[in-house]
Amino acid sequence: MSNYTGSIDLTKVPKRFFNVGLWERKTPSTFGERTYTHSMKVSVPKDQQVEGENLYIGDFSELKPMPSQPTTEQIEAAPSASSDDLPF
Predicted confidence band of residue 59 (pLDDT cuts 50, 70, 90): confident
Alpha-carbon distance of 24 to 40, in angstroms, equals 9
pLDDT single digits (tens) 12-51: 776 777 788 888 889 988 888 888 888 888 877 778 777 8
pTM of the model: 0.53
Please give the residue that has the higher pLDDT: either 81 or 71: 71
- Predicted pLDDT of residue 88: 61
Average pLDDT over residues 47-63: 79
